[in-house]
Chain A
Amino acid sequence: MFSGGLDKILTGEAGSVTYVIVISLFSLIYFARIAASTGARGRRNVVLGMALLLMARIISVAPASAVYPQLVIFAHTVGLVGLYLLFVSVVTMRGLEKAFPVEGGVLVPGIITGVLVGGVMCLNFSWKLADNAAYPLVLSFSTFAPAGFLVGAACKARMMGLKRRFLPVASGIFLVAAAALAGFCSLGFLGGESAWRQLFRMMDVAGFFVLLASAVLDQELYVRDLWASGRGKKRGSSTGGRIEGTPDAETVISNILEIEKKIMSSGRVAEIFKEIVDSAAEIAGGGRAALRLARTEGGVFEQAACSWKGIQEDSRAANPPVARDTLERYCREDRAFDGVFVLEAEDLHGSGESLVPGGVDADLGVAVLIPASESGVLRGFLSVVFSEKGPTREAMACLKLLANRMLHTVQGERDIVNMQEKDRKLAEYKEELDSVNQLKSNFLSIVSHELRTPLTSVKAYTETLMENVDTIKRNTIQDFLRVMGEENERLIKLVDNILNYSQMESGHLKVEKIPLDLNELIEEVHKGMQKEALAANVNTELRVPRHPVSVEADKELIGQLMQNLMSNAVKFTPCSGKVTVTLEEEASAARLVVQDTGKGIPEKQLEKVFERFHQADTSSTREFGGSGLGLAICKNIVEWHDGKIWVENVKDSGAKFVILLPMKDIVVRHASSGGFIGSRRFERERYLTLLTEMISEFLHARKASIMVLDEKQQVLRIIAAKGLDAEFVQNTRVEVGDRIAGHVVMNGESIHVLDIEKDEEFGRSNNSSYYATHSFVSVPMRDGEKIVGVLNVSDHIEKREFNEADKELLEALTGIVVSMLKKLEAFERVTANFGKLKEAMRSVLDLREAWGGRNLSNLTRLALAVGNRMDLDDWSLTALRLGMNLYDLGLMKVPRSIRVKKEELDREEREKLKEHTNAGYALISPLGLEGKIMKMVRSHHEHYDGTGYPDGLAGAEIPIEARIVGVVDTFRALISEGPYRRSFSLDEARNEIIRGSRTRFDPRVVGAFIKALHDLGVRVCKNELIIEIDKVDIHAGSAAEKGMPPAERARKQVVKEGSK
Chain B
Amino acid sequence: MKKGKILVVDDEVNLTHILEFSIGAEGYEVITALNGEEAIEKARRERPDLIILDVMMPRIDGYEACRILKSNVLTKNIPVILLTAKGREIDKKLGFEAGAIDYIVKPFSPNKLIERIHELVSCRK
Contacts and interface: CB of A to CB of B under 8 A. Distances in A.
A460 B58 contact: no
Interface in A587-631: 618-623
Contacts, number: 76
A455 B110 contact: no
Interface residues of B, number: 24
Contacts of A458: 107
Given A453-B12, A457-B15, A464-B18, A622 B111 contact: no
Interface in A458-472: 458-461, 463-464, 467-468, 471
A482 to B, nearest CB: 10
A624 to B, nearest CB: 9
Interface string B83-106: 001100000000000000000001
Given A453-B85, A622-B58, A483 B17 contact: yes
Contact of A449 (B21, B56, B58): B56
A486 interface: yes
A452 B86 CA distance: 9
Contact of B22 (A448, A467, A622, A623): A467
A461 B109 CA distance: 10
Contact of A460 (B57, B85, B107): B107
A352 B55 CA distance: 82
A463 B14 contact: no
A487 B13 CA distance: 12
Nearest to A449: B85
A452 B18 contact: no
Contacts of A455: 106-107
Tell me if B's interface is mostly helix, strand, loop or mixed.
loop
Contacts of A620: 58
Contacts of A464: 18, 21-22, 25, 110
Interface residues of A, number: 28
A448 B105 CA distance: 12
B12 to A, nearest CB: 6
Interface string A473-511: 000100010010011000000000000000000000000
A460 B22 contact: yes
A448 B87 CA distance: 10
Contact of B57 (A452, A461, A480, A619): A619
A453 B106 contact: yes
Given A453-B12, A483-B14, A622-B58, A460 B110 contact: yes
A456 B106 contact: yes
A618 B22 CA distance: 28
Given A456-B108, A459-B109, A486-B14, A621 B25 contact: no
Given A619-B59, A622-B58, A460 B86 contact: no
B33 interface: no
Given A464-B21, A468-B25, A456 B61 contact: no
Query: Do most interface residues of chain A lie in helix, strand or loop, or is the interface mixed?
Result: helix
Given A463-B111, A483-B17, A622-B58, A456 B85 contact: yes
A486 B101 CA distance: 32
B116 to A, nearest CB: 14
Contacts of B19: 460
B109 to A, nearest CB: 6
A463 B11 CA distance: 21
Contacts of A448: 85-86
Interface of A: 445, 448-449, 452-453, 455-461, 463-464, 467-468, 471, 476, 480, 483, 486-487, 618-623
A-B complex: 10 closest residue pairs judged by Cβ atoms: A452-B85, A456-B107, A622-B58, A456-B106, A459-B107, A449-B85, A455-B107, A464-B22, A460-B18, A623-B58
Given A456-B15, A457-B18, A460-B107, 17 more contacts: A449-B86, A453-B12, A453-B15, A456-B85, A456-B107, A458-B107, A463-B109, A463-B110, A463-B111, A464-B22, A464-B25, A467-B111, A468-B22, A471-B25, A483-B18, A618-B61, A621-B56
27 contacts: A452-B106, A452-B107, A453-B15, A453-B85, A456-B108, A457-B12, A459-B107, A460-B15, A460-B19, A460-B107, A460-B108, A461-B18, A464-B18, A464-B25, A464-B110, A467-B22, A467-B111, A468-B25, A480-B18, A483-B17, A483-B18, A487-B14, A618-B55, A618-B61, A619-B56, A619-B59, A622-B58
